[in-house]
Amino acid sequence: MNDQLLRRPEVERKTGMSRSAIYRDMSAGTFPKPKRIGKRAVAWPASSIEAWIAERPFTDA
């Protein structure tokens, strides 16, 4: 399987979360951790972000 890698700005767009919220939730264990793709670069597998989104409850706003 060739999973697309998403950099943080795209993860922010897909999830609607800010950078600080992403890292806060990663620390809490409620958001997927990224994979290191370089010395100073990380990315998230698209499948892990899509699975996280699918697990989120919907609200009746």
3-44 pLDDT per residue, tens: 899 999 999 999 999 999 999 999 999 999 999 999 999 999
With a cut of 70, say whether residue 57 has pLDDT above it. yes
pTM of the model: 0.85
Average pLDDT over residues 36-61: 91
Which residue in the block uniquely carries the two structure tokens 């700005």?
9
Count Cβ atoms below 10 Å from residue 8 Cβ, excluding itself. Answer: 15
With a cut of 60, say whether residue 1 has pLDDT above it. no
Rounded Cα distance, 27 and 18, in Å: 14
Name the pLDDT band for 61 (thresholds 50, 70, 90): low
Domain boundaries, the chain: 5-55
